[in-house]
């Protein structure tokens, strides 16, 4: 295939990923907007009059109640739009600079890795657009791994972009009196993609309908090693790390 065709293909793929990231960013903004809408709905209940004009943006008193605008006319209300319909022509700025907090970095890395995995784009290509991601490229690349057998995961050596993961969570097991020998035994350790590790760790902490509203960690508290291990295997399978 001619080099020019490859370049076009690569560029197209990158634009798709960029579009996905923009969509996520737009959704984040939409969430803030919708929360504001709910405050607005609540205000309506307490006598708020949406027809009462306000001083337009740009004026030092912008946003304040008024009897009219600078010319004494009511201020026109702009059309609003709720999340759900993602506008395709919105182009908010993508964080090309390294986000300041680790929470933001992790969030954007996860979003980028998920998009890259969905679109089949290599992490190295993504790092060309977002240079700050270069440092994390190995972690983003490993996120695209296909599920592996238990033997493969247990015999792998942790390299860049991979972490050792305890199938039975180590902190809970330790608190419940299990020995370090059991916790760190080869049977309980697998080498998995770093961002999958992040996702699974977070899953253990988040409330879950199928555990009756408890987090998996709460559900497993005080349960036997074999139950903890079974849930640990299930998590690896459901997150696409371990072959079913």
Nearer CB in complex with another protein: 91/238? 238
Is residue 169 within 8 Å of residue 219, measured between CB atoms? no
One symbol per residue from 133 to 172: x for binding another protein (CB under 8 A), - otherwise; what is it? Answer: ----------------------------------------
Identify which range of 9-17, 49-57, 122-130, 201-209 contacts another protein by CB under 8 A. Answer: 201-209
Interface with another protein in residues 73-92 (CB under 8 A):
82-86
d(CA 113, CA 143): 7
Number of chain residues interacting with another protein (CB under 8 A): 46
**Structure letter (DSSP) for residue 65:** B
Member of 6, 12, 34, 124 binding another protein (CB under 8 A)? 34
**Structure letter (DSSP) for residue 78:** P
Q: Per rule CB under 8 A, is residue 94 in the interface with another protein? A: no
SS3 for 137-200 is: HHHHHHCCCCCECHHHHHHCCCCCCEEEEECCCHHHHHHCCCCHHHHCCHHHEEEEEHHHHHHH
What are the Cα distances from residue 234, in Å, to 21, 227, 231?
30, 11, 5
Gyration radius from the chain CA atoms: 25
Identify which range of 129-137, 149-157, 180-188, 205-213 contacts another protein by CB under 8 A. Answer: 205-213
Member of 159, 212, 222, 226 binding another protein (CB under 8 A)? 212
Least Cβ distance, residue 105 to another protein (angstroms): 10
Task: Classify 54 as helix, strand or coil.
Answer: strand
d(CA 66, CA 75): 9
Nearer CB in complex with another protein: 50/71? 50
Tokens 């592996």 belong to residue: 148
Identify which range of 54-62, 71-79, 131-139, 210-218 contacts another protein by CB under 8 A. Answer: 210-218
Q: Which two tokens stand for residue 171?
A: 């902190």
Which residues make up the interface to another protein (CB under 8 A)?
23-24, 27-28, 30-31, 34-35, 37-38, 41-42, 45, 82-86, 103-104, 106-107, 110-111, 114, 117-118, 199, 202-203, 205-213, 215, 234-235, 237-240
């Amino acid at each position: 295939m001619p080099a020019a065709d490859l370049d076009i293909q690569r560029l197209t793929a990158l634009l798709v990923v960029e579009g996905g990231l923009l969509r996520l960013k737009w959704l984040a903004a939409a969430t803030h907007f919708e929360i504001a809408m709910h405050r607005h709905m609540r205000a309506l209940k307490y006598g708020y009059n949406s027809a009462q004009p306000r001083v337009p943006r740009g004026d030092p008193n912008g946003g304040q109640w008024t009897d009219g605008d600078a010319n004494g006319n009511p201020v026109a209300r702009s059309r609003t739009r709720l999340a759900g319909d993602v506008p395709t022509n919105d182009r908010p700025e993508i964080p090309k600079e390294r986000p300041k907090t680790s929470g933001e970095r992790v969030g954007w890395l996860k979003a980028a890795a998920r998009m890259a995995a969905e679109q089949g784009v290599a992490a190295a290509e993504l790092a060309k657009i977002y240079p700050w991601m270069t440092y994390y490229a190995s972690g983003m690349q490993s996120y695209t791994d296909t599920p592996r057998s238990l033997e493969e995961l247990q015999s792998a050596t942790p390299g860049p972009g991979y972490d050792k993961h305890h199938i039975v969570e180590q902190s809970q097991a330790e608190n419940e009196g299990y020995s370090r020998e059991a916790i760190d035994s080869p049977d309980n350790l697998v080498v998995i993609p770093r961002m999958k590790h992040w996702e699974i760790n977070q899953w253990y902490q988040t409330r879950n309908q199928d555990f009756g509203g408890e987090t998996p960690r709460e559900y497993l508290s005080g349960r036997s090693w074999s139950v903890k291990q079974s849930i640990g295997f299930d998590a690896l399978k459901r997150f696409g790390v371990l072959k079913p």
